[in-house]
């Protein structure tokens, strides 16, 4: 079976969960579904993905509705990052408008060690304000390349910026170095990174998921103060917590439709 005779599944991606889900769907359904993953286009060299890939914004909710209808999408799986709140809201609205079944993969939250020296903040601006008032000198910053400018006016701090791929543009931070690493991260690796760079403060988004959790254990062991940007609330509607459960949801959804 090919093309329009089979259900067309759209994954909103940009995460390792989305990539894993595409592989699971492809292995399970083979050519019994048409599979497309949508990427925003932020990553310079996206990893290989099972199925088709489309890249770039849709042009707001209306553009997404138009895409869903034009491409005859049967089921929509939102596997975007927990902090990608705009596209998740657009997906919910567009699914409601079109009646297309949609599910969100909401990553499990981290279980934060009790002994962690933890400061919760709502956003990166507040994190930068707080950092400026702390006795912090060497900071591991893992909040993503687009948030760096928010920290540009914090004085007397050296930043180690972790990025998942090399960006050519100069950093908007005057006193910083970069380390390029892709998850999953091990406890040993996180411990070494913090020790070798004499890190006293970690700034991270509360993204959740096992692949990036080790830094919290390492920070606890080493007494590294952690500023945690709180996860925004997930939009309402159907939720699962893993690519495997999203595959089960898809089976259920396509079973109901045939």
Interface residues toward ligand NAP, by CB under 6 A: 12-15, 38-40, 42, 57-60, 63-64, 80-81, 83-87, 90, 144, 205
Write down the least CB distance from residue 156 to ligand NAP, Å: 27
Q: Specify whether the CB–CB gap between 15 and 77 falls below 8 A.
A: no
Write down the least CB distance from residue 24 to ligand NAP, Å: 18
Write down the least CB distance from residue 109 to ligand NAP, Å: 15
As given in the structure block, the two tokens for residue 63 are 């553009």
Q: What gap in Å lies between CA 187 and CA 215, rounded to an integer?
A: 7
**Residue number with CB closer to ligand NAP (22 or 87):** 87
Write down the least CB distance from residue 115 to ligand NAP, Å: 27
Write down the least CB distance from residue 223 to ligand NAP, Å: 27
Q: How many CB atoms lie within 10 A of CB 113?
A: 14
Return all residues near 209 (Cβ < 8 A) that are at least 6 apart.
17, 107, 108, 110
**What does residue 48 show for φ and ψ, rounded to 5 degrees?**
-60, 145
Count H helices and E strands in the chain, helices first.
7, 12
**Residue number with CB closer to ligand NAP (40 or 211):** 40
**Residue number with CB closer to ligand NAP (5 or 48):** 48
**Residue number with CB closer to ligand NAP (39 or 140):** 39
**Residue number with CB closer to ligand NAP (132 or 235):** 235
Total residues found in the chain within this entry: 258
Cis peptide before 154 (omega within 30 of 0): no
């Amino acid at each position: 079976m090919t093309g329009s005779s089979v259900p067309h599944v759209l994954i909103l991606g940009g995460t390792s969960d989305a990539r894993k889900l595409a592989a699971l769907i492809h292995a399970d359904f083979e050519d019994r579904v048409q599979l497309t993953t949508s990427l925003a286009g932020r990553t310079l060299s996206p990893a290989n993905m099972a199925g088709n890939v489309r890249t770039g914004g849709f042009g707001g909710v209306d553009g997404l509705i138009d895409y869903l209808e034009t491409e005859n999408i049967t089921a929509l799986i939102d596997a975007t990052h927990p902090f990608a709140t705009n596209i998740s809201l657009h997906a919910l609205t567009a699914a409601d408008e079109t009646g297309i079944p949609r599910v969100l993969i909401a990553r499990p939250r981290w279980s934060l060690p009790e002994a962690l020296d933890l400061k919760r903040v709502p956003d990166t601006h507040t994190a930068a304000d707080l950092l400026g008032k702390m006795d912090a000198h060497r900071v591991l910053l893992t909040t993503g390349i687009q948030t760096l400018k928010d920290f540009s006016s914090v004085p007397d701090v050296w930043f180690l910026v972790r990025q998942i791929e090399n960006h050519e543009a100069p950093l908007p931070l005057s006193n910083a170095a970069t380390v390029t690493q892709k998850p999953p991260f091990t406890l040993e690796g996180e411990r070494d990174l913090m020790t070798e760079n004499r890190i006293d403060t970690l700034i991270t988004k509360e993204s959740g998921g096992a692949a990036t959790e080790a830094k919290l254990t390492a920070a606890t062991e080493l007494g590294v103060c952690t500023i945690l940007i709180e996860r925004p609330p997930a939009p309402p509607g159907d939720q699962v917590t893993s690519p495997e459960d999203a595959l089960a949801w898809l089976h259920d959804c396509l079973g109901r439709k045939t």
